[in-house]
Amino acid sequence: MSTDPQLISQHKLRQYALQALYLLEFREDDKLTNATALEIVLDGQEIQAKNLEFLQGLVEGVLAHEAEINKRISRHLMTDWTLSRLTSIDRAILRLGSYEMLYTEIDQLIALDESLNLAKDFSDESSTSLINGVLQNLLKS
């Protein structure tokens, strides 16, 4: 019996996007594409076309603007910190949040709140504070 594709909350879609970005950070060759990473994360789950479009837009948008996003994040890190010093998941959260704040129509405070929720879900308390500080400074600049 077939079921209709699920409608998924945007928070859950951001979780999937974060997981795909995390996977893509470790790719060593062209075998792991954006589409393949999303397939792995979705694990056969069918989602509505508008959800898939939103999800793909997040992943592709972050990757398309990654160099500029990295520069912007780096400007707001603590003294003597570099992007490479952060954990992979924290980098992915910062990139996703920065992308939404800088390149999408979403309200910047919602993007910040969503990023902090992702940090609470996937990282630890000290990372949540760091992510909050970096993204707050990005908002002000």
Q: CATH top-level class for 10-140?
A: mainly alpha
User: Which comes out higher in pLDDT, residue 85 or 141?
Assistant: 85
For residue range 11-66, list pLDDT tens digits in order.
Answer: 999 999 999 999 998 877 667 888 899 999 999 888 899 999 999 999 999 999 99
Domain boundaries, the chain: 10-140
List beta partners, residue 6. 47
Question: For the whole model, what pTM was predicted?
Answer: 0.91
Q: Could you report the per-residue pLDDT of 132-141, keeping only the tens digit for each?
A: 999 999 999 8
| Helix/strand/coil for 106 | coil
d(CA 107, CA 20): 23
